[in-house]
Amino acid sequence: NDDQFKRVVSHAKEYGYIFGSSEIYDGLSAVYDYAQNGVELKKNIREYWWRSMVYMHQNIVGIDAAILMHPTTWKASGHVDAFNDPLIDNKDSKKRYRADVLIEDYAEKLNIKAQKEIDKAKKRFGESFDEAQFVATNPRVLRYKEEQQEVLARMARSLEAEDLADVKALIEELGIADPDTGSKNWTEVRQFNLMFGTKLGASAESATDLYLRPETAQGIFVNFLNVQKTGRMKIPFGIAQTGKAFRNEIVARQFIFRMREFEQMEMQFFVRPGDEIKWYEYWKETRLKWHLSLGLGEENYRFHDHEKLAHYANAASDIEFNFPFGFKELEGIHSRTDFDLKAHEKFSGKKLQFFDPELNENYVPYVVETSIGLDRMFLAVLSNSLQEETLEDGSSRTVLKLPSILAPVKAAVFPLVKKDGLPEIAHEIIEELQWDYNVIYDEKDAVGRRYRRQDAAGTPFCITVDHQTKEDRTVTIRHRDSMEQERIAITDISAKISKSISY
Ligand code: ATP
């Protein structure tokens, strides 16, 4: 809901996770900076992905290709001709929107209406309520669901046929209004290319037009044969990559969900033609398991299988996550056929084929890709972890229940008081732990306040050095989620942290 979303955005700023870009100049829309805690969380998510994809699969290796690529790359990939979004302007407000997003929002509202009916009935019938039965028979719910499907199907059909007049007709028939002003005075729908252009070279005459890459995948395709040969890879094998991508998004809103500069984590898996659907199913399942392993709650994920397929795909599905503003795409799993490699063969004149020793033949492999936005994953983790708890004594606490393995700071070490040699012992502990973990020191305010500060920042452990420590070399270790405290030996701290963050 809206309130939770606002809380997430302000919490992200207050606790050093995300700042607007160039804020002193009033910011740059849909561009963000990762702050001192944000950079750690982002790095940890990237690492969690990299380990599971590259280290846990003997047939997957990584690369780091450049952001700038030869301009023909984007002709071959289809991005010059087809990387377009349907835009519509409101004549009164002069605001620009993505026509498909306006229609999707309308469809989502129908979904919410249906859910309200379900919730109402649930309250009324209590224990004996049979949700599946209700959804299948209640005329209102059926009508909402049916209309939702019809609207989405018609939009998909018109977009596929590039019938932009019908997209506009649909917006008018549904009575969709400008979300800010309520005006229904729309322009025609037109296509807009999302790539950022730039120039290579100094003088105007000799400069070459380049694009900032809108996806990382093409850096993998153009290196396919280099990696296959030098890595002695046999099909099936994969190439993984994380890195920045750039899109001149029109509907730039929802914080870091849709940015103009963002980071992708992609893996292209090269398979025998004909085996692609088997691998597509494998990667759908494997990627969902990765998400579930973080413990953000199974009910917060769902697959959305595409009916409308991109020009390069023969099967595609999104893993959607329950963001504060509803279920939205977090990751895409696409069966891209041999579209990309074949296109690069055609435009470059170079063969991009694999000799399969078992079949004794050459072929252009098929590709199954998994593509996830690192920033979207960050938002999923952050929004899901931010919780407001009411404690037994009636007071409330704000706690960021990040999975420990992703937490920016693993432990904060406190001296109970700023004297009697306690700060020195705390620093000694830090000097020992910092070889393995990101740990911090804090001596300001009462210990209770320091605990709350670390709860809100997402730190899973607080370690307090007190007078007893001087006698028996033990400390108090406090757990963020349960708020339980135990007394343990200084020499056992490392093992305790390590146990909670091991892969
Ligand atoms: P959407 O429909 O939301 O625009 P997409 O289908 O265009 O996304 P893909 O091209 O499949 O997205 O990119 C793969 C992943 O990259 C997405 O699942 C998403 O997590 C991420 N991503 C795409 N565009 C953005 C963006 N503008 N900001 C942040 N992440 C993005």
The answer on 470 and 359 residing in a single domain is no
Which band of pLDDT confidence, cut at 50, 70 and 90, is reported for residue 206?
Answer: confident
Are the beta carbons of 246 and 213 closer than 8 angstroms? yes
Are the beta carbons of 236 and 83 closer than 8 angstroms? no
Query: Whose CA is closest to atom 18 on ligand 1?
Result: 331
Q: Is the CB of 401 under 6 A from ligand 1?
A: no
The reply to whether 6 falls in a domain is no
The CATH number assigned to the domain holding 472 equals 3.40.50.800
Q: What mean pLDDT comes out for the span 319-346?
A: 96
Are the beta carbons of 171 and 103 closer than 8 angstroms? yes
Strands 411-415 and 439-441: parallel
Query: Whose CA is closest to atom 11 on ligand 1?
Result: 332
Residue-level pLDDT at 313: 82
The answer on 200 and 186 residing in a single domain is no
The answer on 206 and 131 residing in a single domain is no
The answer on 332 and 211 residing in a single domain is yes
Residue-level pLDDT at 207: 78
Residue-level pLDDT at 160: 79
Query: Whose CA is closest to atom 8 on ligand 1?
Result: 329
Q: Phi and psi for 212 in degrees, rounded to 5? A: -75, 135
The reply to whether 18 falls in a domain is no
Tokens of 179: 């979300």
Query: Whose CA is closest to atom 30 on ligand 1?
Result: 373
Least confident window among 96-105, 229-238, 403-412, 451-460: 96-105
Residue where a domain terminates, one of 141, 173, 190 = 190
Residue where a domain terminates, one of 190, 216, 249 = 190
Q: What is the pTM of this model?
A: 0.85
Q: Tell me the one-letter amino acid at 16.
A: G
Q: Which atom from ligand 1 is nearest to the alpha carbon of 249?
A: 27
Mean pLDDT score across all residues of the chain: 94
Residue 176 confidence (pLDDT) above 80: yes
Q: Is the CB of 376 under 6 A from ligand 1?
A: yes
**Ligand 1, from 376, 378, 382: best to mutate by most atoms within 8 Å of Cβ?**
376
Which band of pLDDT confidence, cut at 50, 70 and 90, is reported for residue 484?
Answer: very high
The answer on 418 and 455 residing in a single domain is yes
Residue-level pLDDT at 252: 65
Q: What mean pLDDT comes out for the span 180-201?
A: 90
For residue 161, give its domain range.
84-190
The reply to whether 88 falls in a domain is yes
Which among 266, 250, 255 is positioned nearest to 215, based on CA atoms? 266
The reply to whether 1 falls in a domain is no
Residue 83 confidence (pLDDT) above 80: no
The answer on 140 and 237 residing in a single domain is no
Q: What mean pLDDT comes out for the span 351-374?
A: 96
The answer on 214 and 176 residing in a single domain is no
Q: Could you give the CA distance from residue 67 to residue 82 in angstroms, rounded to a whole number?
A: 20
Q: Which atom from ligand 1 is nearest to the alpha carbon of 260?
A: 27
Which among 343, 341, 321 is positioned nearest to 331, based on CA atoms? 321
Q: Is the CB of 371 under 6 A from ligand 1?
A: yes
The reply to whether 20 falls in a domain is no
Q: What mean pLDDT comes out for the span 384-389?
A: 96
Helix (H) or strand (E) holding 440: strand 439-441
The answer on 321 and 372 residing in a single domain is yes
The reply to whether 131 falls in a domain is yes
Residue-level pLDDT at 253: 73
Q: What is the tally of structural domains in the chain?
A: 3
The reply to whether 491 falls in a domain is yes
The answer on 212 and 100 residing in a single domain is no
Residue-level pLDDT at 85: 82
Residue-level pLDDT at 82: 75
The answer on 302 and 185 residing in a single domain is no
Are the beta carbons of 273 and 284 closer than 8 angstroms? no
Least confident window among 139-148, 305-314, 345-354, 482-491: 305-314
pLDDT digits (tens, 9 = 90+) for 225-283: 999 999 999 999 999 999 999 999 876 678 999 999 999 999 999 999 999 999 999 99
Q: Is the CB of 379 under 6 A from ligand 1?
A: no
The reply to whether 456 falls in a domain is yes
Q: What mean pLDDT comes out for the span 111-129?
A: 90
Q: What mean pLDDT comes out for the span 460-489?
A: 97
Q: Is the CB of 375 under 6 A from ligand 1?
A: yes
Residue 364 confidence (pLDDT) above 90: yes
Q: Could you give the CA distance from residue 122 to residue 294 in angstroms, rounded to a whole number?
A: 30
**How many Å lie between the centroid of ligand 1 and the Cα of residue 212?**
16
**How many Å lie between the centroid of ligand 1 and the Cα of residue 235?**
28
**How many Å lie between the centroid of ligand 1 and the Cα of residue 145?**
26
**How many Å lie between the centroid of ligand 1 and the Cα of residue 103?**
18
The answer on 356 and 288 residing in a single domain is yes
Residue 477 confidence (pLDDT) above 70: yes
Q: Could you give the CA distance from residue 323 to residue 325 in angstroms, rounded to a whole number?
A: 5
Residue-level pLDDT at 434: 97
Strands 60-62 and 237-246: parallel
Residue 183 confidence (pLDDT) above 70: yes
The CATH number assigned to the domain holding 232 equals 3.30.930.10
Residue list, annotated binding site: 98, 215, 247-249, 257-266, 329-330, 369-376
**How many Å lie between the centroid of ligand 1 and the Cα of residue 497?**
35
Strands 84-90 and 186-193: antiparallel
**How many Å lie between the centroid of ligand 1 and the Cα of residue 373?**
6
Q: Which atom from ligand 1 is nearest to the alpha carbon of 331?
A: 18
Residue-level pLDDT at 159: 84
Evaluated on CA atoms 357, 361, 363, 366, the torsion sign reads negative
Which among 292, 330, 254 is positioned nearest to 8, based on CA atoms? 254
The answer on 214 and 311 residing in a single domain is yes
pLDDT digits (tens, 9 = 90+) for 17-40: 999 999 999 999 899 999 999 999
Residue where a domain terminates, one of 354, 389, 424 = 389
**How many Å lie between the centroid of ligand 1 and the Cα of residue 266?**
11
